Amino acid sequence: MLVPKLKHFLDENHVKYVVIQHSPAFSAQQIAARSHISGKEMAKSVMIKMDGKMAMAVLPASELVDLKKLRRLTGSHTVELASEEEFKYLFPDCETGAMPPFGNLYGMEVFVAGKLTEDQEIAFNAGSHSELVKLDYKDFENLVHPKVMKFAIA
């Protein structure tokens, strides 16, 4: 089921979205394949620590976070991947690793890879390993107000 916090937020803002069920999958690439969605339209949320503070990097499933580049672009002293143990408590309504890219709903800054802005629609985990949401990228951008940067590598 779509995380209630996200559903309420989308409905309250009158955003059109589609919920897609799929067989359980644990990587963004697997989810994209099982849902017949391009890896560049499937957005994955990667939890990072920037100068010790938790943040969310959102990028196409087919790409990786370039931590050094993200550090330079943000002016941070340190940028590193966060472990599941470090972030799972921040998303009590989500299965571990299936959090939606709406870090703003969880009190954190969101950074989006520039390539993700090139598609009209994006799809992403809806809080579980068997459901995703698809909506217009512009709606996502208007609701989250992410910082768009070129920090992803293929």
Contacts of 45-48 spanning 24+ positions with Cβ under 8 A = 45/99, 45/100, 45/101, 45/103, 45/124, 45/125, 46/81, 47/81, 47/82, 47/86, 47/87, 47/99, 48/79, 48/80, 48/81, 48/82
Q: How many beta carbons lie within 10 A of that of residue 20, not counting itself?
A: 17
Q: What is the pLDDT of residues 91-103, one digit of tens each?
A: 999 998 899 999 9
Portion of the chain with pLDDT greater than 70, in percent: 89
Where along the chain do its domains lie?
Answer: 4-153
pLDDT of residue 28: 65
Q: Which of 101, 103, 54 is nearest to 81 (CA)?
A: 54
pLDDT of residue 40: 66
Q: What is the pLDDT of residues 127-153, one digit of tens each?
A: 988 889 999 999 999 999 999 999 999
pLDDT of residue 84: 93
Q: What is the pLDDT of residues 14-69, one digit of tens each?
A: 999 999 887 676 666 666 666 667 666 789 999 999 999 999 999 998 899 999 99
CATH topology of domain 4-153: YbaK protein (3.90.960)
Write the DSSP symbol of residue 88. G
pLDDT of residue 24: 72
Q: Please report where in the chains the tokens 């009590």 appear, as a residue.
A: 92
